[in-house]
Structure 1
C-alpha cells in the first residue's frame, strides 16, 4: 500500500530499517501524533502508541507514564527546541530516529500555513551522532538516502545525489557507577 503513496521512498526505507532491528513483538512509543507512517507500522503488525500532541519541549511526562520497548522519533527532532532533554528522558532501551538532513543549497523548512510545521534544527549526521552520544545512546546502525524530486533545475539535480534523510538505531548505554558515586 505505502509503495504507491507519497513519500514512498522514505516510508519504504524507514520500514525496512525498523524491521531489520526489531520484531512486531516490541511495543513502540512513536513521538508525535498519529501520522501516515505510524498507521503503516500498525498495518505491518507493530504495537504502536503515539504521543497526543503535547509540547515535548516542556512536557516529558509521557516517558514516565508509557513503558515501551522502543521509542521512535521519525522526523520530529528537527521541530523541537531541545532534543537533548527528550533523549535524556527516554526510558526505553531502544531508539529509532530519523531526520531530514540540512542541505547547503536549500533553506530550513518553514510552512507558511502552519506555524507549528517548521524546522527549528536542520541537522548534519555528525550532530545527531554527537547528540546521541552525549545523552547516553550508542548507535548500532545508521543509513542515509536521497530524495529526488521530479522537477527541472539546479537544486532538483542536486537532490538526486545529495543525501536528504538520516536514520539511526541506537540503544541506551548503561555506564557503570563510579566508586565515588556509590558513597565509598
Structure 2
C-alpha cells in the first residue's frame, strides 16, 4: 500500500517496526504536527494524537499532560536543541524514536529558506543510545536502514550501503 508513498522505504520499515512493538489498542502521542506518517498510523488502526507545532525545546506541556501509553518521535529529535529535556518530560512508558544518522561524507542538513527545517543533531547510534540511557530509558530493540537516492555521483553511491536511519523501541526504567 505504501510503495507509492514518498518516502516509501522509510515509511514501510518504520511501520513494520512500530507494528512489532506497539499494539493498535495502545494510544500514541506522536511528537510533531500531523504528517503523512501519522496519517498512515491512523489508517492502520492506531489512535494517534499529535503535538500542535509548539517549540518542544521551550514548551513540553502537551507531552507532560498527555495520557498516551506510547510516544513516537519520527525524525523530530534532530531538529531540537535539547532532546534531553523532551525525553525527561515523557510520562508514557514506551517510546519509538527514529533519527537520521550522521553521514561521514555529508554535512548536517540545513535549509537555506526554512529556519525550522534544519538538523541541529545528526546522531551516531551510540549518541542516541546514551541520551536514552541518561534520560531513564532502556532500549529493547533497534534497527537501521539505508536511504538510496536515484542520482549519480559519489554521495548517491555511498547512500546505497551506508545506513541513514536509526530506529529504537525503548521502555522507561522503573522510577
- With the length of structure 1 as denominator, give the TM-score of the two structures: 0.93
Query: Equivalents in 2 of 1:64, 1:130: separation in Å?
Result: 22
Describe the SS at the equivalent of 2:96. strand
Matches within 5 A, 1:120-159: 120-159=120-159
1:105 matched residue in structure 2: 105
Structure 2 unmatched runs, 5+? none
- Residues 59-68 or 93-102, more deviating: 59-68
SS at 2:171 equivalent: strand
Q: Which runs of structure 2 are paired with 1:114-125 in the superposition (5 Å)?
A: 114-125=114-125
- The alignment covers a number of residue pairs equal to 175
Cα distance in 1 for residues equivalent to 2:156 and 2:63: 40
SS at match of 2:3: helix
Shift of the alpha carbon at 1:166? 0.1
- 1:41 and 1:56 mapped to 2: Cα distance? 22
What secondary structure is seen at the aligned counterpart in 2 of 1:167?
strand
For the residues of structure 2 that align with 1:121 and 1:174, how far apart are their CA atoms? 28
Alignment of 1:1-184 (within 5 A): 1-175=1-175
Deviations 1:96-150 (A, max 9, x none): 0000100010110011221110001110000000000000000000000000011
TM-score by length of 2: 0.98
Rounded to whole Å, the distance in 2 between the matches of 1:66 and 1:2 is 29
User: Which structure: larger Rg?
Assistant: 1
